[in-house]
Amino acid sequence: MADVTLSAAVRGSLLSLQGTTNLIDRTQGRLSTGLKVASAIDDPVAFFQAKTLTDRAFDFTEKKDGIDQGVSTVTAAIDGLNAVESIVRQLKGVAQSLKSATGTQFTDLITQFNDLRAQIDLLTADATYQGTNLINGTGQTLSTEFSDITTSKLSISSVDVTSSGLNVTDVTAISTAANTLNFSYDAVSAASTLSNGDTVSITYVGSDVTLTTASSAQTFTYGTVSLSIGALTAGSASISLVNGTTYTLTIATSNTVNTLSGTTLTVDLADASAGVAIAAVTAKQYVAASNSTSVDTQITKLNDALTTLRSKTSSLGSNVALLQTRLDFTQSYVNTLEEGGSKLTLADINEEGANLLALQTRQQLGIQSLSFAGQAEQSVLGLFR
């Protein structure tokens, strides 16, 4: 069957009408999707430029989520620091009361003090956010990435504000039994060793006492090791221990005479030359009823703990401020990237609406034009009537 032959006028009108219809379809598509560039076919350059921007915005959106969680992690740590500071303030108040307390009140205050101190460790253990704890001294590090640049990140190391990290110790009432020496001392880690020449810091608590050759040997127990003090040989100098004075114990080999030089004691330790391993030692602080001197050492530790807590809070506060700044920047940057991509792909709805109205008018005119072009052939039909 032969192709239908159209006149030039009809064909021209038809092509114009088809072009208008295609434009109407494109405009309706833009109005329905809101996009003037929906695929690479529409505009390859604009499409891939917009995709580059939106992909980067997506990458930074992922980083933003990590930064936001970092802010929460550090905030949880700061909340913990503030709570620990509150407990330390309470401990300081109890310690102040210990200075003048006696009898049952003294005993009750010691129990209260030690219970509060234990809460420090419980609280720091609870200050965990999504498995990260920045205040219990477990060596964790919070690493927050800001972008795809490997160096663009912030690492925050955990701090130790547990009772041992703050050097806040339990308190124990001194013993008043005969020939008893009470010593406060610092904590040591497990598997430490004491050998010839090593030192241990202790604070004597109790009535002033002078040890002579006539004095019975006194024993200071330090973990699993017993240090002998006061077993003097005939002719050696006496040793005077003064309440509240801190002494440095210098370990000597077995059978060395105990001596005192200033605040340095030389003491005997059996088999010290070979080194004696000791278990972990919890710091111990003796206090005496109606004895402010014995409590002052603990109050000094509490003051130092408050200073440490304020310093750590300030440091973490600076970090959370930086994280918040990066979070705000990332949010603004993502919006800018998405806006830039939208400029390349979004359609102007008002313009497209006007285009559709004009195209519909043009379509009607095209149909009318096609009708006029066909009238010439219709006149030939009249000849056969």
- Token pair of 55, please? 């992909």
Question: pLDDT, tens digit, for every residue of 183-195?
Answer: 888 777 777 777 7
CB 241 within 8 A of CB 181: yes
> Rounded CA gap, 385 and 377, in Å?
14
Please tell me the predicted confidence (pLDDT) of residue 237: 66
Average pLDDT of 361-378?
A: 65
Asked whether the predicted pLDDT for residue 161 surpasses 90, the reply is yes
Asked whether the predicted pLDDT for residue 91 surpasses 90, the reply is yes
> Rounded CA gap, 66 and 197, in Å?
51
Average pLDDT of 12-38?
A: 66
User: In degrees, to the nearest 5, what angle opens at C-alpha 25 toward C-alphas 24 and 30?
Assistant: 95
Please tell me the predicted confidence (pLDDT) of residue 93: 94
For the chain, what is the mean pLDDT? 79
Please tell me the predicted confidence (pLDDT) of residue 347: 59
Q: Which of 121-159 are b and which e, b meaning 16 or more Cβ less than 10 Å from the residue's Cβ?
A: bebbeebbbeebbbbbbeebebebbbeeeeeebbebebb
> Rounded CA gap, 222 and 184, in Å?
10
Asked whether the predicted pLDDT for residue 380 surpasses 80, the reply is no
Of 47-56, 93-102, 224-233, 329-338, the poorest mean pLDDT is in 224-233
- Percent of residues, the chain, with pLDDT higher than 90: 19
Asked whether the predicted pLDDT for residue 377 surpasses 70, the reply is no
What is the band of 1 on the pLDDT scale with cuts at 50, 70, 90?
very low
Average pLDDT of 311-331?
A: 90
**Is the alpha carbon torsion for 231, 234, 237, 242 positive or negative?**
positive
User: For the chain, what are the domain ranges?
Assistant: 51-166+297-336, 180-287
> Rounded CA gap, 87 and 135, in Å?
15
What is the band of 39 on the pLDDT scale with cuts at 50, 70, 90?
low
State how beta strands 264-268 and 239-241 pair.
unpaired
Asked whether the predicted pLDDT for residue 108 surpasses 70, the reply is yes
Please tell me the predicted confidence (pLDDT) of residue 135: 92
What is the band of 375 on the pLDDT scale with cuts at 50, 70, 90?
low
More confident residue, 36 or 327: 327
Asked whether the predicted pLDDT for residue 383 surpasses 80, the reply is no
More confident residue, 366 or 339: 339
Of 73-87, 187-201, 286-300, 352-366, the poorest mean pLDDT is in 352-366
User: In degrees, to the nearest 5, what angle opens at C-alpha 190 toward C-alphas 184 and 194?
Assistant: 70
Please tell me the predicted confidence (pLDDT) of residue 260: 66
Please tell me the predicted confidence (pLDDT) of residue 129: 92
Please tell me the predicted confidence (pLDDT) of residue 122: 94
Is pTM beyond 0.95 here?
no
Question: pLDDT, tens digit, for every residue of 260-282?
Answer: 666 777 776 655 556 777 777 77
Average pLDDT of 358-384?
A: 64
Average pLDDT of 342-346?
A: 65
Three-class secondary structure assignment of the chain: CCCCCCCHHHHHHHHHHHHHHHHHHHHHHHHHHCECCCCCCCCHHHHHHHHHHHHHHHHHHHHHHHHHHHHHHHHHHHHHHHHHHHHHHHHHHHHHHHCCCCHHHHHHHHHHHHHHHHHHHHHHHHCCECCECCCECCCCEEEEECCCCCCCEEEEECCECCCCCCCCCEEEECCCCCCCCEEEECCECCCEEECCCCEEEEEEECCCEEECCCCCCEEEEECCEEEEECCCCCCCCCEEECCCCEEEEEEECCCCCCEEECCEEEEECCCHHHCEEECCECCEEEECCCCHHHHHHHHHHHHHHHHHHHHHHHHHHHHHHHHHHHHHHHHHHHHHHHHHHHHHHECCHHHHHHHHHHHHHHHHHHHHHHHHHHHHHHHHHHHHC
> Rounded CA gap, 1 and 216, in Å?
134
Please tell me the predicted confidence (pLDDT) of residue 236: 63
Hey, which of 106-110, 230-234, 290-294 has the most confident mean pLDDT? 106-110
CATH (residue range 51-166+297-336): 1.20.1330.10
More confident residue, 81 or 370: 81
Question: pLDDT, tens digit, for every residue of 189-222?
Answer: 777 777 777 888 888 887 888 877 767 677 777 7
**Which amino acid would we find at residue 252?**
A
Please tell me the predicted confidence (pLDDT) of residue 252: 73
Three-class secondary structure assignment of 182-247: EEEECCECCCEEECCCCEEEEEEECCCEEECCCCCCEEEEECCEEEEECCCCCCCCCEEECCCCEE
Asked whether the predicted pLDDT for residue 257 surpasses 60, the reply is no
**Is the alpha carbon torsion for 317, 318, 322, 325 positive or negative?**
positive
- Token pair of 349, please? 């709805």
CB 269 within 8 A of CB 254: yes
Asked whether the predicted pLDDT for residue 28 surpasses 90, the reply is no
